[in-house]
Every structure is written in structure tokens, then in C-alpha cells.
Amino acid sequence: MVDKQQAEMDLLKQANIELKQENLQLNYDNTELKSRVNELELDVSRLKDEEELLQSERIAFHVYLSSSKCFNDHQIIEYDTEVLDTGNGYNEHDGIYIVPESGIYVFTWTFTNDIAEYAITEIVVNGETQGWTIADGSGQRLLYNPSSGLVLARVNAGDHVFIRRVEGRGCTAYSGQYVQPTFSGWQLSP
């Protein structure tokens, strides 16, 4: 009987040793997992910070012409009222947007001429025409005929972008209660 108890005791000691080893391994694995979770939490925190930084630094501008003005052929349209300019690139005194950061941008503009006039406008990106519009009210005696354009362009920091009147009849860029010529742009991607 003593031998049987001794054998059982030895088995229990062996099982106890194996459980202690298993417990040590589980504690080690648990410590490793906690360490990995901490690393992942730091990674997630860094990614959130980077995402907030990217979102807070989006480049965009929006300006409009506050009152009707005369612009001659080949003259830059000076949209004189700034609504938004997160990159500080637009100059309302000369109508030129200087790209603050390289990337792919969306640019859009509207133009309205006076009644019975017409005007062709173009967007110029770093010296190259990228698009045109025609606001044609020449056949109308009572209606304003606005035009709008939109272009996508890959630009570099420092490039100049502006809207220019190419030609037309009359010189008025009309801005009134329900019509305001605008010029806007935003960075689509770096």
C-alpha cells in the first residue's frame, strides 16, 4: 500500500512539475502578448495622429469676385474676396494662386459676363492653358449666361495658377445678388 501511495505521490509530483512548467510558459506567452498589444496600441495611436495631421493640413482655397468689374483681353481675373485659403497661396491683389504643396489638384472657376456680351476665359497652370469656358450672352438681351470649368492638374509647389479672360465682346465680369464669379481649388492627393 505504501508503494502504491508512493507511486501516486510521484505521479502527482510529476504532474505538479509539468503544471508549473506549463504555467511558466503561459506566463511568458502572456507577457509577450501584453508587450505586442502595447506595441500595436502605439502603432494605432501614431496612425491616428498621422491621419489627423493629413486631414488638418489639406490644401484648399475659394475666392469670388465681390462686384462687377471690367477685364480686358488677356487680363487675369482678380477674384478679390477670399473665403478660404488653408495653404495661403491665393493673392487677391493679382489673382494668382501659388501652389503651396506639390500634388494633384482640382481647380474650378465660374465666370459671368454682362447681358448681351460674351467672354472666353481660360485657366493657366504654370504658363500653360489647361482649359477654357465660354460665357455667351451675345444673343440675349435679358439674361446673364454664366460658364464654369473644372480641371485636374499635377502641379508642383511654387507653380502659378490663374484665370484669364482670353477675348470677347464687352469687358464686364458680372457679379450681383444671385451671381458671383468664383475660383476654387483643392489638393486631391500629394
Structural domain boundaries enclosing 135: 60-189
The yes-or-no verdict on residue 55 having pLDDT over 80 is: no
pLDDT in tens, 132-177: 999 887 666 667 788 999 999 999 999 999 999 999 998 999 998 8
* Confidence at residue 70, expressed as pLDDT on a 0 to 100 scale: 95
What CA–CA distance (Å, rounded) separates 59 from 97?
12
Nearest to 133 by CA among 144, 143, 118: 118
Give residue 2's pLDDT: 73
Report the domain count for the chain: 2
Mean residue pLDDT of the chain comes to 88
Q: Is the pLDDT of residue 49 over 80?
A: no
Q: Do 152 and 170 belong to one domain?
A: yes
Lowest model confidence (mean pLDDT) among 7-11, 34-38, 154-158: 7-11
- Of the candidates 56, 81, 100, which is a domain's last residue? 56
Cα–Cα separations (whole angstroms), residue 178 to 38, 108, 138, 144, 174: 57, 19, 20, 10, 10
48 and 84 together in one domain: no
The last residue of a domain, from among 37, 56, 75 = 56
Predicted local distance difference test score (pLDDT) of residue 58 = 85
Q: Which helix (H) or strand (E) holds 60?
A: strand 60-64
- pLDDT above 90: residue 183: yes
Residues 143 and 88 in one domain: yes
Strand 160-169 to 96-98 pairing: antiparallel
Four-point Cα dihedral 132, 77, 168, 174, nearest 10 = 110
CATH at 101:
2.60.120.40
Taking 80 as the threshold, does the pLDDT of residue 54 lie above it?
Answer: no
pLDDT tens-place string over residues 123-137: 999 999 999 999 887
Both 10 and 102 in one domain: the answer is no
Question: Residue 139: its pLDDT value, please?
Answer: 66
pLDDT band at residue 32, thresholds of 50, 70 and 90?
Answer: confident
**Mean local confidence (pLDDT), 76-98:** 96
**Pairwise pLDDT comparison (70 vs 56), residue with the higher score:** 70
* pLDDT over 70 percentage in the chain: 93
Please report which confidence band the pLDDT of residue 110 belongs to, taking 50, 70 and 90 as the band edges.
very high
Pair (51, 64) in one structural domain: no
pTM, two decimals, is 0.70
Judgement on whether residues 82 and 148 belong to the same structural domain of the protein: yes
Indicate whether 74 and 5 sit together in one domain. no
